[in-house]
Amino acid sequence: MKIGFVGLGAMGLPMAKRLMAQGHSVLGYDVSERNRTAFEAAGGLWQTTAAGVTQGVDVLWLMVVSGDQAQDFLLTQGHADTLPGGATVILGCTQPASQAAATAQALQAKGLHMLDAPVSGGVVGAESGTLSIMVGGPSATLDSVRPLLMAVGGNVFHMGQACGMGSTMKMVNQLLCGVHIAVAAEALHLAENAGLDLQQVLDIIGVSAGNSWMVGNRGPRMIQSDPPVTSAIDIFVKDLSIVSDEARKLKTGLPLANGALQMFLATSGQGHGKADDSQVIRAYRSMNRKG
């Protein structure tokens, strides 16, 4: 297939590479040219303008930060209008279910198909092709692009016929991710104030009942002063805000999720919004220093 791919960041670039490795032609575009060299080296066709990525493609895959960015690209800037009739748009961003549904309706009116398909698994999953993909949308549309989804994710789950169901599942997943990161930071800060060796603490937790995927993945970065960024603090400010807003609509109390949101907000407010999300531990350190 000929695929347009928008968003070649930490997740998008390895996903695009896997598609190319399967023999697909991938046209790429990103507001930053930082990943241009790696993308072209893998055989990608870099587009210097956003319009170029929609020309004659079978599928347009957006791995942007938010539903707002997706709507801006597709509808406000009008790039959906330059897609061939019958093309499929795959939205991989985390967004409210209602926003995914609204975008799908607007694209359908233009003769286009859409899948609401957020992913989970981080950079490691993107590079290894083991992402979990939560799909909302018609079965026929999913079947037409399933080989592409399988190329980047070994776990493809069809959540329902309506666009928005994938985002609903991603919301549940992000609730757990955000709370796990925040509580891991809380535990390590307690250990730190108690004078324990933090590497030893992580070694012990790793073979004990208190372990989780997030402790194993984020914990080592929490004890680094300035770790590389794989997912920023402000990403979880956005994602947990979606969780909080949607829960309010459903009249569902989420005290733990809202508590975690406050810690990410506090960290961002301290000027660390672009830091790795493991650095939510900085909020604990600033408000609760030993002595």
CATH of 168-287 among 3.40.50.2000, 1.10.1040.10, 1.10.8.60, 3.30.310.50 = 1.10.1040.10
The answer to whether the CB of 191 falls within 8 A of the CB of 198 is: yes
Alpha-carbon gap, residue 153 to 173, rounded angstroms: 16
Measuring CA to CA, how many Å separate 19 from each of 25, 84, 126?
8, 20, 11
pLDDT for residue 290:
52
Alpha-carbon gap, residue 120 to 126, rounded angstroms: 9
Residue type, 46: W
pLDDT for residue 166:
98
- Portions of the chain given CATH number 1.10.1040.10: 168-287
Could you give the residue numbers annotated as active site?
Answer: 170
Alpha-carbon gap, residue 214 to 178, rounded angstroms: 9
184 Cβ neighbours under 8 A, 6+ residues apart: 212, 214, 215, 218, 219, 222
pTM: 0.92
**Exposed/middle/buried for residue 145 (C-beta within 10 Å: 0-12, 13-18, 19+):** buried
pLDDT for residue 291:
44
Identify the H or E element spanning 185. helix 165-193
CATH number of 2-162: 3.40.50.720
Q: Is the dihedral of CA 181, 225, 263, 32 positive or negative?
A: negative
The answer to whether the CB of 39 falls within 8 A of the CB of 28 is: yes
- Portions of the chain given CATH number 3.40.50.720: 2-162
Q: What is the pLDDT along the chain (291 residues), one digit of tens a residue?
A: 999 999 998 899 999 999 999 999 999 999 888 888 889 999 999 999 999 999 999 999 999 999 999 999 999 999 999 999 999 999 999 999 999 999 999 999 999 999 999 999 988 899 999 999 999 999 999 999 999 999 999 899 999 999 999 999 999 999 999 999 999 999 999 999 999 999 999 999 999 999 999 999 999 999 999 999 989 999 999 999 999 999 999 999 999 999 999 999 999 999 999 999 999 999 999 987 654
The answer to whether the CB of 232 falls within 8 A of the CB of 276 is: yes
User: In this structure, what token pair is assigned to residue 80?
Assistant: 């959906």
pLDDT for residue 217:
94
* Residue 71 three-state SS: helix
Report residue 285: phi and psi, to 5°.
-65, -35
The answer to whether the CB of 238 falls within 8 A of the CB of 94 is: yes
Alpha-carbon gap, residue 60 to 46, rounded angstroms: 14
**Exposed/middle/buried for residue 154 (C-beta within 10 Å: 0-12, 13-18, 19+):** middle
Nearest to 193 by CA among 101, 285, 107, 129: 285
Alpha-carbon gap, residue 175 to 203, rounded angstroms: 26
Identify the H or E element spanning 28. strand 25-29
